Amino acid sequence: MATITSIPQPPTLPIIGNTHLIDKEVPINTFTNMAKKYGPIYQLAFLGGQKIICLQLRACRPSMRSETIQKGYKGDIVGGKNPRKRWCLFTAHHGEQAWGIAHRILMPAFGPAKIRGMFDSMTDIANQLIGKWEVKYSPAVRFGPDHVIDANEDFTRLTFDTITLCAMSYRLNSFYSLEMAPFIKAMASYLIECGNRSLRPAFVKNYLSRSANAQFEADKKTMFDLTTDIIKKRKENLTTAPNDLLQLMLTERDPVTGLGMSDENIANNLVTFWIAGHETTSGLLSFT
């Protein structure tokens, strides 16, 4: 396996390279611990090839000039290997027009004033969480005396419900059920499988993981069925709908090309909002 000899690397094993060194539960621990031993820039060999890891901004800055850097993507998040669906933040390749259109339409919606306008919706969902935990709305009253509050799970509900309400004015109502919403369960399962796939050789993923592949496709269908339904219902009431991110994507045009976003592109970006927004926030709240 070819290496860049001037960049340090842990010892490798035949075929699998450094894959065996990755902590599957908390992968970031692997990268930070290796940086302590090999420095802020090092390389790892995976089944998909050689990867250069950089964990320090100062060390990376020389290679981050806008005229030289290009976005690369390889994986199964959202669109997978279907080129018609690689239109989102994580999945678009460099120069893809559909992502450029989405990016330019969405960017103005993430300024401070626009985010401030979402505070009422954020407060609404936060009050649902507080209400569940307060004595007068005790879990023993709502879910029975044996119910145990799982803060990590509740913060996941909080972030999913908040993103959904702020971005598309839709309520998942996760705090009114003991079980997680099917959509949330599907996304959790889907993301775990995305991580597992990155560590499998192609022949294993394609031919020896049939049950995992079937569950992966079922989870994807659950996510996109909900997203497609939300878009369909919004289009039926477009003139009276709230001015949220979904409305923006359905009605605005790209200032460069004059084109709008297709329903498929909108669905992929809505799923990306959930993927990108829920875990980081819920993880931070749980850790705190």
Burial class from Cβ neighbours inside 10 Å (0-12, 13-18, 19+) for residue 93 reads middle
Q: What is the largest CA-CA distance in the chain?
A: 64
- 222 pLDDT band, cuts 50/70/90, is very high
The 3-class SS string of 66-101 reads CCCCCCCCCCCCCCCCCHHHCCCCCCCCCCCHHHHH
- Residue-averaged pLDDT of the chain: 82
Q: State residue 84's pLDDT score.
A: 45
Q: Which domains does the chain have, with CATH numbers?
A: 1-69 (no CATH), 105-287 (1.10.630.10)
Q: Would the pLDDT of 166 be above 60?
A: yes
pLDDT digits (tens, 9 = 90+) for 129-163: 988 887 555 555 666 667 778 888 899 999 999 99
Question: Is a pLDDT exceeding 80 seen at residue 248?
Answer: yes
Helix (H, G, I), strand (E, B) or coil at 23: coil
- The residue assigned the tokens 């192609």 is 202
pLDDT in tens, 93-143: 777 888 889 999 999 898 888 889 999 999 999 999 988 887 555 555 666
- What pTM, to 2 d.p., does this model score? 0.74
Between these two residues, 61 and 52, which has the higher pLDDT value? Answer: 52
Say what the pLDDT of residue 208 is: 64
Catalogue the long-range contacts made by 191-195 (C-beta closer than 8 Å, 24 or more residues apart). 191/77, 191/275, 191/279, 193/76, 193/219, 194/75, 194/76, 194/77, 195/24, 195/27
